[in-house]
Amino acid sequence: MRYKSQVVGLMAATFLWASTGSPSYAATAEEALKGCENFPHSLAPRLCEAYFRDIMMFLGSDDRMANPNGRLCLDEDLTPADVIPIVVDWIKEHPGQRSITVFDAAHKALSPQFSCK
């Protein structure tokens, strides 16, 4: 089952990267807001959940290539369903930040609660 969720996550990231024109550009916070607002009753809840599962994995990484913003200490039992509303609320509260990547928005939204310091 774990393998299946990783494949779905990879497919979701690939879809979102392809939809932005190049793998070097991730989805924006605006796109995440449109796709994930009102989760789990959002436009594409499975895609949203898979995308945030991948984001959470990278946010917990010490690898500066994977996570240039710095590692966050996410709780082991934290799920995308817990994270998505926090990030969506942050995006709503910071309309001037909607052009940043959803990864950067997630890092900014979760840093106050899950900083490793």
Q: What is the pLDDT of residue 1?
A: 52
Q: What is the pLDDT of residue 117?
A: 79
Q: What is the pLDDT of residue 20?
A: 41
Q: Are 97 and 91 in contact (CB under 8 A)?
A: yes
Residue with tokens 């082991």: 76
Under-50 pLDDT residues of the chain: 3, 5-11, 13-25
SS3 string, the chain, reads: CHHHHHHHHHHHHHHHHHHCCCCCCCCEHHHHHHHHCCCCCCCCHHHHHHHHHHHHHHHCCCCCCCCCCCCECCCCCCCHHHHHHHHHHHHHHCHHHCCCEHHHHHHHHHHHHHECC
CA angle, 76 then 82 then 86, to 5°: 120
